[in-house]
Amino acid sequence: MADKSELKYTSEHEWVLVDGSVATVGITAYAAEKLGDVVFVELPEVGSAVASGTVVGEIESTKSVGELFAPVNGTVTATNAAVVDSPELVNSDPFGEGWLIKVEFTELPALLSFAEYTALTGE
């Protein structure tokens, strides 16, 4: 996975790795820590259209249920089956093996830089 300072972030605590016209999306370590032990992950179907800022999945922990928001408009090109089978990957490796979806997009919206995100979370 890329250096955390090279990623983009959302105020909903997702990270975004941009590679050409594909955004790989996951939740940040901050979000994973706040959720607690993740026990269930529901992701959108490959091929489904997603709109920036809308809920596209669910992350359930022993403490609460969190929502996964799409950071971009586009089409889901891949989902991480390993996370569905082993939800604890979201906690153990949120910036690597715990990635959630890949979305092909046409336009990248304004996202937060690493500095802006750390200012938001105080981490």
Residue 13 — very low, low, confident or very high, per pLDDT cuts 50/70/90? Answer: very high
For residues 59 and 35, the answer to whether their CB atoms sit within 8 Å is yes
CA 110 centroid distance within chain = 16
* Averaged pLDDT score across all residues of the chain: 95
- pLDDT in the model for residue 87: 97
* Closest by Cα among 103, 95, 39 to 69: 103
Q: Looking at the domain that runs over 4-107, which CATH code has it been given?
A: 2.40.50.100
DSSP E strand stretches across 8-63? 8-9, 14-19, 22-27, 38-42, 49-50, 55-61
- pLDDT in the model for residue 1: 61
- pLDDT in the model for residue 23: 97
Whether residue 2 has pLDDT greater than 80: no
